[in-house]
A = this chain, B = another copy of it.
Amino acid sequence: MRWIIPDGWMPTGSSAGIDAHEAVCVVNLATHDAQLTFTFLFEDREPDVVDGLICGARRSRHFRLDWPHELGGYRLAAETPYSLLVESDSPISVQHTRVDTRAGGIALMTTMAGALHRMTL
């Protein structure tokens, strides 16, 4: 199954000790690990592919997109429009969240990723 998040844009800054960021949250209800690939698509260049990511069996995993060590060393460009495709070798569910602290305080937004079935893509 493939999951898509059209609106990625990771803010920078910090407020009240909270760093602005985006996160991709994955849950794997199965009894075996899920192997994940993240493909970042941009407005004006070819996609970047990060593979070798794992969400363990019966585990939640929240990938901080501002932390390269959670993305196999990949450094996602901040304040740059992107979309994210999440592919998995077994069924998972995916949600994407933005935490914006640029203007002080916090703003949050979240959405379930869109499920791409064969029929839709």
Contacts and interface: CB of A to CB of B under 8 A. Distances in A.
A35 interface: no
Contacts of A58: 41, 46-47
Contacts of A116: 29, 93
A95 B111 contact: yes
A97 B120 contact: no
A74 to B, nearest CB: 16
A31 B8 CA distance: 21
Nearest to A29: B121
Interface residues on A, range: 35 or more
Contact of A82 (B23, B60, B100, B114): B60
Contacts of A27: 4, 6, 41, 83, 85
Nearest to A26: B6
Given A91-B120, A110-B111, A120-B115, A18 B61 contact: no
Contacts of A9: 62
Q: Please name the 4 residue pairs, one residue from A and one from B, whose CB atoms are nearest each other, closest first.
A: A27-B83, A16-B103, A7-B25, A60-B83
Given A5-B95, A7-B62, A105-B106, 9 more contacts: A7-B23, A8-B60, A25-B81, A29-B41, A42-B59, A43-B62, A95-B111, A98-B108, A107-B108
